Chain A
Amino acid sequence: MHIAVEFQQVSRHFGGVRAVDEVSVQIMDGEFFSMLGPSGSGKTTCLRLIAGFEQASAGAIFIHGVSAQGLPPYRRDVNTVFQDYALFPHMNILDNVAYGLKVKGIGQAERYRQAEAALDMVALGGFGARKPGQMSGGQRQRVALARALVNQPRVLLLDEPLGALDLKLREQMQSELKALQKQLGITFIYVTHDQGEALSMSDRVAVFNQGKIEQIDTPKMLYSQPKTVFVADFVGTANVIRGALAEQITGAAQAFAVRPEQIRLGASTSEPQINGQVADIHYLGASSRLALQVSSGERVWVTLANDSAVIPAIGSALTVHWPKHSMVLLNETAS
């Protein structure tokens, strides 16, 4: 398998701030690769480094084996779908989509034919004569996608492309994007702060924190085997237990995580267990989430299916346990 994009010890400093701090990563050809992290974690800067809107302060970036050092955006075989679409307001939709072909000198008839085909692909055939201002957010998002894809890039960069859409539309676009990526077979590099989005769409996910990558893994491994405290906490909901409480349970001071849905009600002789008082209950529809306050002050989250057990009342004393194999030992930081 070919490497589509490679970072070798890449850093990007803004003044004294290390937005990207010695990041190394290999993104494979044809992969749906997500960069996940909170705002300010460096994921968008990494995307901009690939697009060429930023220059690395140190390290090397290769796009399909070619060094991107000093290469301006218009000479890179990548295209970007921007967060707020960045459609040209003075051009109609067809001209927006045909723009990349136009600047490459492709004749009008041919570029309009290809642009129409790209619009058909995102289910916007016949909308070419409209102006961006006359389209809804979801439609503009599709136009931005068509405008990038019409150039047949080998790598498509997506910068939180669904961030401005409402939940239903976002879920629909997620499955469409995934299907499109499979159909076209090109590399998608997808930046998001939404862990659910990253887990549901990606082949692999890189979790960013403070300019560094904490873990690169498949969604399944990321969720079931987080390596650091940050990853366990950021990806899904986890009870991260550390310090004295961890020592009391496992006999060692190393932090560990246990997912709320792994925790069972009742005492156990063979499995780790903990006592506490029900401090809060969140009703979530299919399930409820209990906050169990333990004597040392920490809260442990417990997810219970609403159709099974009787939900304990707030204030009642409770003992819970969990299978040993569901505990994941965590490092404090990425090594």
Chain B
Amino acid sequence: MSSPTQFPNQWMPLRRLSDLFWRQPKLLLLVLLLPPLAWFGIVYLGSLLALLWQSFYTFDDFTMAVTQQLTLANYQALFDAANYDVVLRTFVMACAVTLASAILGFPIAYYMARYAKGWQKGAMYVAVMLPMWASYIVKAYAWTVILAKGGVVYWFYNQLGLSSVIDALLALPSIGGNSLSTSNLGRFTVFTYIWLPFMILPIQASIERIPANLIQASADLGATPRQTFSTVILPLAFPGVVAGSIFTFSLTLGDYIIPQLIGPSGLYIGTMVYTMQGSIGNIPLAAAFTVVPVLIIALYLTIARRLGAFDAL
């Protein structure tokens, strides 16, 4: 029998340190997590809390000055007809964009997760993410040209002899307008285009996690494909849909570029914050407006949880 190997007992600080971490795994965890936790705590949550706090400050309309006197007036102001209109307009658009993204995104995500293999899968990932690599401003401006009268969309419909379809759509109340680029329909189109990848990727990830044999088991037990979709695939993919809809919903709620470039006049929450903060300096009201999306998302998550969206997680 040979004697057990003797490890050299030299003074090696790095080895000592790794030995210490091996004996005290919680210490290692603490060292690793402290910087990101500090970053999250101070930069993200801290600034959010500061924002929340400032939404209770007082703005003096005459002197245009902010005083640290606490008030609920900013939140009351949200319910003024003009401000309430802004919230409602943004909310309806965010709902429409989210719904459209989910309906468009689900089949693409499903195909990517279940059918695409090898190079095809890689190509689909690139295709979905490629638009995100281009500047957002450039894409928004490009759409103003695409949707303008004489733009490529009008030209295309003319070629097909379907220009009357555009006219009919634009004649519809509330979604229509003078041209595609100045209608709510156009704004909705651009929002959906810009945020669709944020819906596809989480749904794709959630569908990919559904074991194939659950779908086979469902069919084996006599469920038609439609039944399997509604009772197995959709409930299990729902967390992905919820995750994706949080992106599309909150990104639409907070956007201030697209409402300025495409669609009719009328402020959105984002443009309202931009105006209040930038031009007028009414930071308390801007802060109150910013709290609205946070509350809406919180409410949405609560409802989704009640519906059992996260049961399968």
A residues within 8 Å of B by Cβ? 51-53, 72-74, 78-80, 82, 84, 86-90, 99-100, 102-104, 147-148, 151
Residues of chain B lying within 8 A (CB to CB) of residue A100? 221-223
A82-B213, A86-B214 in contact; A72/B219 too (CB < 8 A)?
Answer: yes
Tell me, in angstroms, the Cα distance from A151 to B218 when the chains sit together: 13
User: Shortest beta-carbon distance, A300 to chain B, in Å?
Assistant: 36
Q: Could you list 13 examples of A-B contacts with CB < 8 Å? A: A53-B219, A53-B220, A74-B219, A74-B220, A74-B222, A82-B217, A84-B211, A88-B214, A90-B235, A90-B311, A100-B222, A103-B223, A147-B221
Shortest 8 CB-CB contacts between residues of A and residues of B: A100-B221, A86-B217, A73-B219, A103-B223, A90-B312, A86-B213, A80-B220, A74-B219
Residues of chain A lying within 8 A (CB to CB) of residue B220? 51-53, 73-74, 78-80, 148
Tell me, in angstroms, the Cα distance from A248 to B300 when the chains sit together: 83
Interface segment, B49-57, B116-124, B224-232?
B224-232
Residues of chain A lying within 8 A (CB to CB) of residue B46? none
Tell me, in angstroms, the Cα distance from A73 to B231 when the chains sit together: 17
Residues of chain B lying within 8 A (CB to CB) of residue A147? 221
Tell me, in angstroms, the Cα distance from A324 to B218 when the chains sit together: 55
Q: Which residues in chain B, 236-281, are within 8 Å of chain A measured between CB atoms? A: 236
Residues of chain A lying within 8 A (CB to CB) of residue B214? 86, 88
**Contact yes or no, B216 A53, CB < 8 A:** yes
Q: Is B308 an interface residue (CB 8 A)?
A: yes
**Contact yes or no, A79 B221, CB < 8 A:** yes
Tell me, in angstroms, the Cα distance from A86 to B236 when the chains sit together: 13
Tell me, in angstroms, the Cα distance from A103 to B219 when the chains sit together: 10
Tell me, in angstroms, the Cα distance from A80 to B232 when the chains sit together: 17
Q: Which residues in chain B, 127-141, are within 8 Å of chain A measured between CB atoms? A: none
Assuming A99-B221, A103-B223, what are 20 further A-B pairs, CB within 8 angstroms?
A: A53-B219, A74-B222, A78-B220, A80-B217, A84-B211, A86-B211, A88-B214, A88-B217, A88-B218, A88-B232, A90-B308, A102-B231, A103-B218, A103-B221, A103-B222, A103-B231, A147-B221, A148-B220, A148-B221, A151-B221
Residues of chain B lying within 8 A (CB to CB) of residue A80? 216-217, 220
Residues of chain B lying within 8 A (CB to CB) of residue A86? 211, 213-214, 216-217
User: Shortest beta-carbon distance, A235 to chain B, in Å?
Assistant: 29
User: Shortest beta-carbon distance, A130 to chain B, in Å?
Assistant: 13
User: Shortest beta-carbon distance, B189 to chain A, in Å?
Assistant: 35
> Which residue in chain B gives the minimum CB-CB distance to A77?
B222
Summed over the interface, the residue pairs from A and B with CB atoms below 8 Å come to a total of 66
Residues of chain A lying within 8 A (CB to CB) of residue B232? 88
Tell me, in angstroms, the Cα distance from A99 to B308 when the chains sit together: 18
User: Shortest beta-carbon distance, B173 to chain A, in Å?
Assistant: 42
Chain B count of residues within 8 A CB distance of the other chain: 20
Residues of chain B lying within 8 A (CB to CB) of residue A104? 222
Select one of B224, B231, B308 contacting A74, CB under 8 A.
Answer: B224
Tell me, in angstroms, the Cα distance from A307 to B46 when the chains sit together: 79
Residues of chain B lying within 8 A (CB to CB) of residue A52? 219-220
**Contact yes or no, A103 B227, CB < 8 A:** yes
Residues of chain B lying within 8 A (CB to CB) of residue A53? 216, 219-220
Residues of chain B lying within 8 A (CB to CB) of residue A78? 220
Tell me, in angstroms, the Cα distance from A82 to B214 when the chains sit together: 10
> Which residue in chain B gives the minimum CB-CB distance to A157?
B220
Residues of chain B lying within 8 A (CB to CB) of residue A99? 218, 221, 223, 231
Tell me, in angstroms, the Cα distance from A119 to B86 when the chains sit together: 56
> Which residue in chain A gives the minimum CB-CB distance to B211?
A86
User: Shortest beta-carbon distance, A95 to chain B, in Å?
Assistant: 10
Residues of chain B lying within 8 A (CB to CB) of residue A90? 235-236, 308, 311-312
User: Shortest beta-carbon distance, B231 to chain A, in Å?
Assistant: 7
Tell me, in angstroms, the Cα distance from A148 to B220 when the chains sit together: 9
A86-B211, A88-B232, A103-B231 in contact; A151/B222 too (CB < 8 A)?
Answer: yes
> Which residue in chain B gives the minimum CB-CB distance to A51?
B220
A86-B211, A89-B236, A90-B312 in contact; A103/B217 too (CB < 8 A)?
Answer: no
**Contact yes or no, A89 B222, CB < 8 A:** no
> Which residue in chain A gives the minimum CB-CB distance to B236?
A90
User: Shortest beta-carbon distance, A132 to chain B, in Å?
Assistant: 11
Tell me, in angstroms, the Cα distance from A89 to B235 when the chains sit together: 10
User: Shortest beta-carbon distance, B299 to chain A, in Å?
Assistant: 23
Tell me, in angstroms, the Cα distance from A80 to B311 when the chains sit together: 26
Tell me, in angstroms, the Cα distance from A88 to B235 when the chains sit together: 10
**Contact yes or no, B224 A103, CB < 8 A:** yes
User: Shortest beta-carbon distance, B171 to chain A, in Å?
Assistant: 45
Tell me, in angstroms, the Cα distance from A103 to B228 when the chains sit together: 9
User: Shortest beta-carbon distance, A67 to chain B, in Å?
Assistant: 19
> Which residue in chain A gives the minimum CB-CB distance to B239?
A90
Tell me, in angstroms, the Cα distance from A181 to B59 when the chains sit together: 80
